Amino acid sequence: MSDKNYSSTDDESLVKAARKGELAAFEELVFRHRDPIYARAFSMTRNEQDAVDLSQEAWIKGWQRLGQFQGESSFTTWMTRIVINLCLDHLRRQKRHRTDSIEAMDDEGGGVERQMPVVTVNPTAGLERAELRQKIDGALGQLSAEHRTVLVLHEFEEMEYKEIAKTVGCSIGTVMSRLFYARRKMAALLAGVRNEND
């Protein structure tokens, strides 16, 4: 392995070097971008160890597929897509082993989201940014994997309905229903927190 210091090299050059087999260059890429990749895995799985394992698996796949990265998106975006797909596979495997639960039965919302009262006050008003982040993180943890996935892909990854449907492997209608339920539940959860803070 080369002893070259890559700490001041730009991402594009690092990718080029890594493609040639420079593991040290790839290590620098991992160091720079590991947090957002891990964060994406955690936002989808809500399990720290799973998120670490899946993000490491994503980096290994990234190394193997470097030849396929053409620079059409940023390197982080490309790696994020890899970890998202790994997380979806992981969640599907978990779902096959999961016993039925109220959460599972509530998978498609069951219409309950249509009956929820509208939250009229902006639930984020008056909260410090750090506090809001913490509350959102807590609320995300209370969604089912299916609802959280759609919400994360739409709000954080800015994917369109069609792209989400293709990635997750469901219909656009299902994406819309899950997103609607997830947003309404998030609003209720954040409003509940807001009321506690008043």
Partner 1 sequence: MNEEQQLKLQAFLDGELPEREAREILAWTQRDGAAAALLAELKNTRQALVKSEPHLSVPESRDFFWSKIEREIQRLEPETARTPDASLFAGLRRWFFPAVALGALVIAGLIAYLNTPKTVVDGVADADTTTVETTLASADATTYRDAGEGTTLVWFSDDTTAIN
Q: Which residues in this chain contact partner 1 in the complex, by CB under 8 A?
A: 1-2, 20-23, 27, 30-31, 34-35, 38-39, 42-43, 48, 52, 55-56, 59-60, 63-64, 111, 114, 118-120, 122-124, 129, 132-134, 136-137, 140, 151, 154-156, 160-161, 173, 176-177, 179-180, 183-184, 186-187, 190
Q: Quick one: 34 or 81, whose CB is closer to partner 1?
A: 34
In the complex, minimum distance from the CB of residue 99 to partner 1, in angstroms, rounded to a whole number? 29
Q: Which pair of tokens denotes residue 114?
A: 């249509």
DSSP secondary structure letter of residue 155: I
Of 7, 25, 98, the closest CA to residue 62 belongs to: 25
φ/ψ bin of 128: left (φ > 0), alpha (ψ from -120 to 50), beta (otherwise) = beta
Q: For residues 84-95, b (16+ Cβ closer than 10 Å) or e, as one string?
A: bebbbebbeeee
Q: Please identify which residue in the block is written with the tokens 């008056």.
A: 126
Smaller CB distance to partner 1: residue 91 or 190? 190
Q: Which of 24, 33, 18, 30 is nearest to 6 (CA)?
A: 24
| Of residues 73 and 122, the one with the C-beta less far from partner 1 | 122
Tracing tokens 């639960």 back to the chain, one arrives at 101
CB 89 within 8 A of CB 41: no
Pick the closer one to partner 1 by CB: 4 or 95.
4
Is the Cβ of residue 22 or residue 103 nearer to partner 1 in the bound state? 22
The distance of closest approach from Cβ of residue 96 to partner 1 in the complex, given in angstroms and rounded to an integer, is: 25
